[in-house]
Amino acid sequence: MNFWLQCKSVEQSPKKVGGSCVFRGTRVPVRALFENLEDGASVDEFLEWFPGVGRGQVEAVLEYASASLEEPVAA
């Protein structure tokens, strides 16, 4: 199972963008968010450029990515 499919703001379909993970209800790939942020764009700019994506979706994806980086603390 794809890691991103555990995030409720993400979906995957072979009929959308070649099966890439996209923001639910859109054809905007999740990777587009990270690529734009890496290039210096703000979340507000991303939302302006991709109006089908909601702020809540972006926040959920960023929170999910952040949580996935947390490693359990060893006892």
Record the pTM. Answer: 0.84
Is the pLDDT at 72 greater than 80, yes or no? no
Reply yes or no on whether the pLDDT at 73 is more than 60: no
pLDDT at 1 over 50: no
Instruction: Please state the domain extents for the chain.
Output: 3-69
16-26 burial: b if 16+ Cβ within 10 Å, else e: ebeebbbbbeb
**4-56 tens-digit pLDDT:** 778 899 999 888 888 899 999 999 999 999 999 999 999 999 999 999 999 99
Is residue 75 pLDDT above 70, yes or no?
A: no
Architecture of domain 3-69: Orthogonal Bundle (1.10)
